Structure 1
């Protein structure tokens, strides 16, 4: 996930847009059970109606005005006498419980070459863990199998002028396409990178203003946004290829990844910080009398593999009005991903466990752990595409939980009101009511918050496109913290929210325990509220529909 924070808050926002694949080469393997709305689950559907309803939310006008900142016995589930309510549900969420799951992600990554990427043993262990956890808690649990291409890098070579980069000194990024056998040779064009800013970091199209990179190989740091976004922007600038260098002194290349979408990818390699500095300095000073020549060779291929979404739903509650909470379970290939997105995955695991200890709610609740969120939100895209129109209507809302424990955190609430005007996609009706619930929770605790803009590079995107109301929280990843944000949230000025984003240091020690607990409890508040009543969401939907009908 990439940060989208309004410039009005004195931060330099990113146009991180890793576009979703335009084709659908993935399919669900297994039987289809429409009562759950996904491919494959245990048959049977129980509907429970609560004896009471919560009071309606405020009117749609009031919702919009707040958009600016300022009894069943189940297998594996014992009968509980406690009604589901916000305070008691929040109190049940503890840092000890959250860390129990986060430590598992670290354990699984450590046993699998340091990663929980979608094709790895670390991911399989993570998926099995949440599957068993949900089963033991009395949920209906599904493995939805998704098939998609896996990248294989057979070889990579790089030569800059007379310097040849040997094994370990250069790495082709995951999903990098092959070059012709003879490689590609072109001039090297430096995309200037001002330290601790996004100026010239290659994250935006205007970073290329005044720089003609047509028929050139661009040279840039790993700073500022996802590697996939950098390459996608370079592609739109008509570059031939990309050389990225690690922006951390003393560190060599790491195995990052780019989009598997051919329209967003270029042959791309990475080198270490120290190896890049002589070229950076000379290119900045224009000390090369002639152009810098680069020859890049990459031999890569893809093979189809399968991985599972894990989907767990309460057998109690209205199965036609489902509260859906999701998080991608995988990490990048270079990282254990304990914050990105182990923090989100751990939060919904603990929310699932504790929810089962309360009396059944009026509405059904669904928890999903998505596969392959790191290369284009493939798991969530596949899931939403598998839903019929009727099944989509059963989803009252979707809460996305992605990276909620960054060490230099902010408290970002997804901008369902479009108050920041920096959303790159339009939130469907009901999204501002959902934002209001998060907002009210933070304000009731005297906690600061900020609008966090929607873009197209996270799992919520498929739900937005389907017209399903979306909300959620994030603590940020690759943006640098501004003076305004330091005054508001504390932390370090001119330091990124998560310096270990998609890197090996995103381990258990990278988590902010304070942010993890605050965010998990806020999500508990929204689940407890909407699991009993979606009146506020429904009112906003109805008001928007009526407005459209009036205009017609």
Structure 2
């Protein structure tokens, strides 16, 4: 449960929840959930009111964020929980506690032969100051044999690819390197990378690690291979690691078949750099508002909502739920749908590529049909849509790993919008979908309000369709056993920019 030290915040959350609650006395007789009727209940004004509450939590603290375990994130969890419980006897609402190591602070710099160089700091990189020769690592740095004796006492230059960033930093440390630079394997910088939480707050799992562009890494690699020597100076200071307690919030409708559940999820936390109102206040808010409005209707299939914590630390909340769920509980899930960043200012309307026709990675049976559902819905209301890579980058990753059908929507993060997408959605080509991604500018003022409403209504459509029937889905595929899972094994399923190289 949430600790008593947050009692004052609970009062605030209760007041906000009550102000937004549905008046049950006016519900009357309920009918089976209907897409058009449910969507008509979703109003932009209500979505923005929730956003103001979450941003208010963040801005009332010196850190101005909703990082897991912080005052503002605990308030966020309390707010979600209390909003749901004050709806009356419509949901079974639970808090699932767990602990995670959080990383805050961290100033850094990279100079090459004395010249300041653009770089990004990997979350969970330890503090340190190293000035040593740069030594290229063979292949992708995912095997011990890729690291020659030449890296001992030096800075390892490693290509992105195949295994987790953290595995590369661990390998470099084990080989005797004192620091690591990971360069991209596609055009552009590596942004918002994480090594993953260390084994303990005091652990030395990694070496100080920064990321650079493909162009920079390739140029240094070629120069060294041509006989040049390059000296790298990496400075990381001010990083703080501490264990924090946090909670997932899970709510399931009282009605409907609880042996055949449709599961909707979004993460409730932000990074340390900002309040996270798009990432992922937007997805969390949409689910909360839909859950509020769904109580006016009956469902044939139980609808479950989850607000995951510690997504920004490596999908830890959803990972914890999946790894601790019984096989019987996993078997009940017919479909999991995820919503992470649905209001990016330079947006595209993306549905996860469940059939693999665009990016070549298909999901378990039912994933293709869910992608089709979203594309058909957007077309029916006169909107274009495109496919997003089914990479497991967000909280659907752990569900994919056990063979559960998945789907979802997003509006893009740090990658650049194309000319083709401008033709479909407007906006500006060559600019990130969200220039405020993982930054202080991720605020209400920088939400695409039209995309926010479009996506919230699309999610409501999916809630209505699957809450009524699974007839459009094929037979369910097999769900794997829990024993096969180990996040520390460096699974190659997760190809997210921030989690795996």
In the superposition, the TM-score normalised over structure 2's length comes to 0.73
Aligned length: 430
DSSP-derived class of the 2:311 partner: coil
Distance 2:92 2:24 in 1: 10
1:472 to 387, 408, 414: 408
1:101 aligns to what? 50
Q: 1:155 to 1:517 in 2, by over 3 A?
A: closer
Deviation of 1:405 after TM superposition, in Å, equals 0.6
1:346 aligns to what? 285
- Cα deviation, 1:394-425, whole Å, max 9, x if unaligned, reads 112111011111111111111111112433xx
Indicate conservation of the 8 Å contact 2:113/2:230, yes or no. Answer: no
Deviation of 1:292 after TM superposition, in Å, equals 2.8
2:96 to 134, 144, 157: 144
DSSP-derived class of the 2:373 partner: helix
Indicate conservation of the 8 Å contact 2:169/2:207, yes or no. Answer: no
Distance 1:143 1:79 in 2: 30
Deviation of 1:436 after TM superposition, in Å, equals 2.0
DSSP-derived class of the 1:471 partner: strand
1:115 to 61, 65, 68: 65
Q: 1:299 to 1:475 in 2, by over 3 A?
A: closer
Distance 1:393 1:500 in 2: 39
Q: 1:88 to 1:106 in 2, by over 3 A?
A: same
Distance 2:258 2:478 in 1: 24
1:507 to 427, 443, 447: 443
2:179 to 233, 241, 245: 241
1:533 aligns to what? 469
- Cα deviation, 1:109-145, whole Å, max 9, x if unaligned, reads 1112211011211111110110011011132211100
Deviation of 1:481 after TM superposition, in Å, equals 1.0
Q: 1:327 to 1:438 in 2, by over 3 A?
A: same
Deviation of 1:241 after TM superposition, in Å, equals 3.2
DSSP-derived class of the 2:369 partner: helix
Deviation of 1:217 after TM superposition, in Å, equals 4.0
Distance 1:306 1:86 in 2: 38
DSSP-derived class of the 1:122 partner: helix
Indicate conservation of the 8 Å contact 2:51/2:281, yes or no. Answer: yes
DSSP-derived class of the 1:521 partner: helix
Indicate conservation of the 8 Å contact 2:110/2:232, yes or no. Answer: no
Deviation of 1:291 after TM superposition, in Å, equals 2.5
Indicate conservation of the 8 Å contact 2:343/2:449, yes or no. Answer: yes
1:259 aligns to what? 196
Residues 70-219 of structure 1 aligned to structure 2 (within 5 Å): 78-112=27-61, 113-138=63-88, 139-151=91-103, 174-177=123-126, 184-188=130-134, 215=151, 217=155
2:328 to 374, 390, 394: 390
DSSP-derived class of the 1:354 partner: helix
Distance 2:284 2:337 in 1: 12
Distance 2:156 2:426 in 1: 36
Distance 2:427 2:108 in 1: 40
Distance 2:351 2:119 in 1: 39
Q: 1:236 to 1:501 in 2, by over 3 A?
A: farther
2:266 aligned with 1:327, yes or no?
Answer: yes
Distance 2:50 2:234 in 1: 45
Deviation of 1:379 after TM superposition, in Å, equals 0.3
Distance 1:152 1:517 in 2: 33
Distance 1:452 1:119 in 2: 31
Deviation of 1:155 after TM superposition, in Å, equals 8.8
Indicate conservation of the 8 Å contact 2:349/2:409, yes or no. Answer: yes
Deviation of 1:457 after TM superposition, in Å, equals 2.4
Indicate conservation of the 8 Å contact 2:337/2:407, yes or no. Answer: yes
Structure 1 residue runs of 5 or longer lacking an equivalent are 1-27, 31-73, 191-203, 207-211, 246-253, 273-278, 545-552
Distance 1:458 1:256 in 2: 13
DSSP-derived class of the 1:320 partner: strand
Structure 2 residue runs of 5 or longer lacking an equivalent are 4-22, 142-146, 184-190, 200-204, 480-501
In the superposition, the TM-score normalised over structure 1's length comes to 0.67
2:311 aligns to what? 373
Indicate conservation of the 8 Å contact 1:415/1:435, yes or no. Answer: yes
DSSP-derived class of the 2:303 partner: strand
